[in-house]
């Protein structure tokens, strides 16, 4: 039982991070119908930015995260601005453009921070919580709480604000949205900025749990992408459920299938997607091209 619960803790923590990454993928996809392949690299830039402001500039961790979100939000805006001329014209070029941006961001990180990476000490120094032998690191609790709060805020923004409603409208029918006076370009830019901000949040939170280096976005990006697919690409609740499901699947596979864990994780993922191609919360796919 202890092993089961301990596995659950690890799965939920990493699942919360995957969910944040998946939400970033989904918000861009539902608004523009575009998979942002630079998203994993933005996660990495977020991790670097937060850890640098936290370690070198000695900012409190929470402030460092906010600064990192601002930095990556800006990067999101730049990516969208570069892709905007291709909107509704060449979807494939847009996709390649995001891949290119990912490579540029990785190379940029090597130039700025070097290739070796750095470890980030945990900002929470307290001992893990012990619940009848099941140990929950306090930092893991913080990660889950912050991810849940960010999810709640995003839901409020999308459902209760005018700008959020406008983004939803663009996602549903961008031509009709344009007709009623919604600026589609601005809405897309906001989607990119929010997506990048979520990536930065995921990267910042995962930094003290991992080792920050230029290639860390690869694994997190792939798992976040798979989580978004599992939940239903473009669906925000799907991204959350997909992220948690993927985290748990990963964690339990590691415990039960040892060196074959990754194989098992992706086999289960492939089976779910084959049975339900649109994911758990499958919505009609968006395609602007």
List residues binding another protein (CB under 8 A): 2-3, 6-7, 9-11, 13-14, 106, 110, 115-119, 121-122, 128, 130, 135, 137, 209-211, 213-215, 219, 247, 250-252, 254-256, 258-259, 261-262
Taking phi over 0 as left and psi of -120 to 50 as alpha, with beta for the rest, 98 belongs to: alpha
Give the integer Cα–Cα distance in Å for 7 and 9.
Answer: 5
Residue whose CB is less far from another protein, 91 or 257: 257
Minimum CB–partner distance for residue 11 and another protein (Å): 7
Backbone angles phi, psi at 93, to 5 degrees: -65, -35
In angstroms, the CA 39 to CA 85 distance is 20
Q: Are strands 211-212 and 129-131 parallel, antiparallel or unpaired?
A: unpaired
- C-alpha–C-alpha distance, residues 96 and 46, integer Å: 22
Closer CB to another protein, 100 or 282, in the complex:
100
Smallest separation, CB 116 to another protein (Å): 4
189 vs 206 by CB, closer to another protein: 206
What does the alpha-carbon distance between residue 255 and residue 4 come to, in Å, rounded to a whole number?
9
The encoded tokens of residue 168 equal 């939803």
CB of 99 to another protein, least distance (A): 17
Smallest distance from the beta carbon of 3 to another protein, in angstroms?
Answer: 4
Q: Of the two residues 210 and 280, which places its CB atom closer to another protein in the complex?
A: 210
Stated as kind and residue range, the H or E segment containing 49 is: helix 39-55
Q: Which two tokens stand for residue 76?
A: 């999101």
Listed in sequence order, the residues at least 6 apart from 241 whose beta carbon sits closer than 8 Å to its beta carbon are 230, 231, 280, 281
Helix (H, G, I), strand (E, B) or coil at 130: strand
As to burial, measured by CB atoms within 10 angstroms (0-12 exposed, 13-18 middle, 19+ buried), residue 280 is middle
> Nearer Cβ to another protein, position 37 or 252?
252
Closest distance of CB 241 from another protein, Å: 19
Q: How far is the CB of 106 from another protein (least distance, A)?
A: 8
Q: Return the number of the residue (133 or 181) whose C-beta is nearest another protein.
A: 133
Q: Which is nearer to another protein, 66 or 210 (CB)?
A: 210
Question: Residue 126 Cβ, how far from another protein at the closest point, in Å?
Answer: 11
Q: What angle do CA 73, 78, 79 make, to 5 degrees?
A: 95
* CB-based contacts of 80, cutoff 8 Å, min separation 6: 188, 189, 191, 192, 193
Q: Nearest approach, Cβ of 258 to another protein (angstroms)?
A: 4
Nearer residue to another protein within complex by CB, 165 or 209: 209
């Amino acid at each position: 039982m202890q092993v089961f619960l301990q596995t659950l803790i690890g799965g939920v923590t990493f699942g919360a991070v995957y969910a944040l990454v998946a939400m970033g993928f989904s918000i861009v996809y539902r608004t523009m119908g575009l998979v942002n392949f630079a998203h994993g690299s933005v996660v990495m830039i977020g991790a670097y930015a937060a850890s640098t402001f936290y370690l070198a500039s000695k900012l409190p961790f929470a402030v460092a995260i906010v600064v990192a979100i601002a930095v990556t939000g800006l990067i999101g805006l730049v990516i969208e601005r570069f892709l905007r001329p291709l909107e509704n014209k060449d979807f494939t070029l847009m996709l390649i453009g995001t891949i290119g941006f990912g490579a540029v961001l990785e190379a940029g990180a090597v130039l700025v921070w070097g290739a070796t990476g750095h470890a980030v000490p945990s900002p929470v120094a307290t001992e893990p919580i012990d619940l009848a032998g099941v140990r929950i690191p306090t930092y893991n609790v913080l990660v889950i709480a912050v991810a849940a709060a960010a999810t709640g805020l995003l839901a409020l923004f999308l459902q209760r604000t005018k700008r959020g409603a406008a983004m939803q409208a663009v996602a549903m029918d961008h031509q009709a949205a344009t007709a009623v006076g919604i600026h589609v370009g601005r809405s897309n830019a906001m989607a990119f900025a929010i997506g990048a901000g979520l990536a930065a949040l995921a990267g910042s939170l995962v930094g003290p749990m991992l080792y920050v280096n230029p290639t860390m976005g690869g694994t997190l990006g792939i798992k976040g992408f798979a989580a978004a697919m599992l939940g239903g690409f473009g669906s925000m609740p799907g991204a959350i459920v997909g992220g948690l499901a993927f985290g748990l699947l990963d964690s339990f596979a590691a415990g039960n299938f040892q060196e074959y864990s990754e194989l098992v994780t992706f086999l289960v993922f492939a089976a779910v997607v084959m049975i339900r191609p649109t994911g758990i919360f499958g919505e009609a796919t968006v395609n602007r091209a």
